[in-house]
């Protein structure tokens, strides 16, 4: 993960621009020869910038930039500047390769195709990608992490951090300010986990745990590890409780883990879920209803609607036999639809 205080938008894995902000070679599956080939090819085109994805595939050496490399570049977002979303690119990038191969074969045998002579024909022969919905944010982020080792465009906790505060004693970054050996509870993700065998032959683990503010080391002794191994190795957001060990210089901290639980399990124990809207947000209600219906559950829902003209908030309960199941995927759907889920609150 990039340091949490750094703006993710300032980092970009790009094949089209004049400057590569972060080495393409840092992408898993993209070797040095592929990077050198991309840069060399880009330096040969006018303006030293790929104007289209068709041009990219026409000029690169497909022996060095193979299909696996292309897929890793797509997952990292390196083609985002060309207009197509990652789902469309992953589904249809083979069409660009086939087209580029055909053009190169024509050139090798000295043929001048209509494509190179007539603009109308050129437009007809351009690759048209099948329209597809963009990957859900969770899928896009998991793909980024699989090839980069960290989340780049966003973070899975972004948009729900206001919900998780009720289960924490503070952010990870605040742990160094805690009294040594004090009890703490944090919400976040396990970014790495290393299992070791003790002298007694039992298994314990060391992990890295992160939230939006930073990362902290977890020490999970055998008894706790035996109880929580499965959940620690999962992909979900976790609530970790334990005692904190703070260095004498107050520069670093570790958590001796005592308990691990899934955030989803705690979310399901909520009493009520409230959508907080302004009167100009009423057009959101249909989309909210659609998402709620996708995640039926026992938690009742309601609306707090602020009416600007009279400076009052009106509370409305939703009369329905079925409520909602406020799991992570539910909030992810809200995030995908509206760009945020910060208008939702939970009553415990």
For 235-284, the pLDDT digits (tens) are 889 999 999 999 988 889 999 999 999 999 988 888 999 999 998 888 89
| 140-176 pLDDT per residue, tens | 999 999 998 888 888 888 888 888 888 899 999 999 9
Three-state DSSP class for 242?
strand
| pLDDT, position 119 | 47
Contact 240, 185 (CB under 8 A): yes
Q: How confident is the model at residue 5 (pLDDT cuts 50, 70, 90)?
A: very low
Distance CA(275)–CA(342), nearest Å, equals: 9
Amino acid 248: pLDDT: 82
Indicate the pLDDT class of residue 126, thresholds 50, 70 and 90. Answer: confident
- pLDDT for res 111: 58
User: What is the pTM assigned to this prediction?
Assistant: 0.75
Give CA–CA dist 228/232, Å, rounded.
Answer: 6
Q: What is the pLDDT of residue 13?
A: 60
pLDDT tens sequence across 215-236: 999 999 999 999 999 999 988 8
Distances (CA, A) of 163 to 74, 227, 242, 345: 32, 26, 21, 7
């Amino acid at each position: 993960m990039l340091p949490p205080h750094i703006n993710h938008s300032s980092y970009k894995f790009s094949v089209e621009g004049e400057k590569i902000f972060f080495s393409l070679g840092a992408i898993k599956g993209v070797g040095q020869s592929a990077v050198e080939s991309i840069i060399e090819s880009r330096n040969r085109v006018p303006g030293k910038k790929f104007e289209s994805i068709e041009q990219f595939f026409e000029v690169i050496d497909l022996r060095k930039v193979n299909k696996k490399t292309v897929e890793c570049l797509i997952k990292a977002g390196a083609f985002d500047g060309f207009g197509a979303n990652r789902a469309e690119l992953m589904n249809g990038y083979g069409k660009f390769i086939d087209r580029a191969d055909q053009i190169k074969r024509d050139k090798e045998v000295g043929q001048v195709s209509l494509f190179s002579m007539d603009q109308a024909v050129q437009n007809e022969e351009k690759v048209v990608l099948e329209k597809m919905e963009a990957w859900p944010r969770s899928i896009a982020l998991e793909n980024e992490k699989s090839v980069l080792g960290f989340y780049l465009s966003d973070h899975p906790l972004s948009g729900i951090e206001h919900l998780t505060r009720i289960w924490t004693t503070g952010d990870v970054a605040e742990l160094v300010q805690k009294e040594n050996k004090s009890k703490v509870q944090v919400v976040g993700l396990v970014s790495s986990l290393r299992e070791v065998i003790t002298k007694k032959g039992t298994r314990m683990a060391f992990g890295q745990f992160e939230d939006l503010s930073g990362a902290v080391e977890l020490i999970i002794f055998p008894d706790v590890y035996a109880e929580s191994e499965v959940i620690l190795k999962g992909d979900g957001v976790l609530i970790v409780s334990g005692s904190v060990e703070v260095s004498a210089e107050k520069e670093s901290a570790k958590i001796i883990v005592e308990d691990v639980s899934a955030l989803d399990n705690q979310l399901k124990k909520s009493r009520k879920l409230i959508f907080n809207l302004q009167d100009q947000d009423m057009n959101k209600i249909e989309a909210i209803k659609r998402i709620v219906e996708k995640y039926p559950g026992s938690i009742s829902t309601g609306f707090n609607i602020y009416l600007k003209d009279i400076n009052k908030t009106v509370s409305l309960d939703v009369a329905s036999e079925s409520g909602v199941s406020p799991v992570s995927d539910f909030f992810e759907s809200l995030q995908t639809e509206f760009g945020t889920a910060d208008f939702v609150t939970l009553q415990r």
